[in-house]
Amino acid sequence: MIKVEKFILGDYMENCYLITDADTGEQALIDPGYESMELFQKLSNNHENNLKYILLTHGHFDHIGFVLKVYALTHAKIAIGEKEKDFLTQKKLNLSQFTMTQPLAPIDADILLKNNELLPLGNSSITYVSTPGHTQGSGCYIVDNNIFTGDTLMKCSMGRTDFPTGNDTEMKHSLHKISELTKNYTIYPGHGDNSTLDYEKSHNPYLGVL
C-alpha cells in the first residue's frame, strides 16, 4: 500500500504528489513543477533519502520546474514517457520559452518509459500507462487503487490539446483507455481536485457520458 501526499505548487496551481510505500518507506515524487520550500525541507529532513524516483506525467514547464533541484538533493531517478524526452531539453516544447523569464535548463532523464512498464517501489509496484493527447508522450502512473493522470484527465475535464504535439484524436483514445479500467480508482490529476473513476465515468463529458 502507498500513502499519498499532495502539494499544490506555483501560479498554475500544479499538483505534485509524494507517494510512500508504507512497508519500506521508499518514495517517489510525481511532477515537481515549481520550487517549494516546504517540499524541499521535507525531502532534506529525510536523512535516509528514500526518494527513489522523480516521475513525470509529461514535460510541460509547470510539471518539471523543480526537477533539477530535487535531483541535486536526492539523485532520484528521473522517469518520463519515451516520446516525451525532448520536452525536457527543448524550451519551445516545454513552453518555458514563452512563460518564464528564464527558460528551464535541460534535464536528462534516467528512465524512458514504455507503455505498461513497471517500476518497483518497496513492496509496491508502479505501472506507467502511455496516454498521448495533451502531449505526444503524456502518461499516467497507477499504484494500488490510485491513478495519477497529469494533464490527461482532470475532474470533469481533460487537458488541452492545442499545445505543440497535442492531438485530439489521440486524447480521445487515451481517455477511452482510462474509462475501460474496471476498478474505481482514486484519480489524482495534474491540476484541481481529486476524483474517482466511477464519478468521472458518470460526470465527465470527455469520458463519453454524452
Name the residues that contact Zn ion, by CB under 5 A: 60, 151
Report residue 99: phi and psi, to 5°.
-110, -15
The rounded distance, in Å, linking the Cα atoms of 31 and 209 is 29
Q: End-to-end CA distance of the chain: give it in Å, rounded.
A: 35
Shortest distance, CB of residue 86 to Zn ion, whole angstroms? 15
Shortest distance, CB of residue 158 to Zn ion, whole angstroms? 11
- Of the two residues 84 and 151, which places its CB atom closer to Zn ion in the complex? 151
Cell 514517457 identifies what position?
81
- Of the two residues 124 and 152, which places its CB atom closer to Zn ion in the complex? 152
Which neighbouring-strand residues pair with 191?
14
- Of the two residues 60 and 91, which places its CB atom closer to Zn ion in the complex? 60
- Of the two residues 21 and 84, which places its CB atom closer to Zn ion in the complex? 84
- Of the two residues 122 and 137, which places its CB atom closer to Zn ion in the complex? 137
Shortest distance, CB of residue 110 to Zn ion, whole angstroms? 21
Which among 68, 33, 73 has a CA at the least distance from the CA of 51?
Answer: 73
Shortest distance, CB of residue 200 to Zn ion, whole angstroms? 18
Measured from each CB, the residue nearest to Zn ion is 60
Shortest distance, CB of residue 183 to Zn ion, whole angstroms? 25
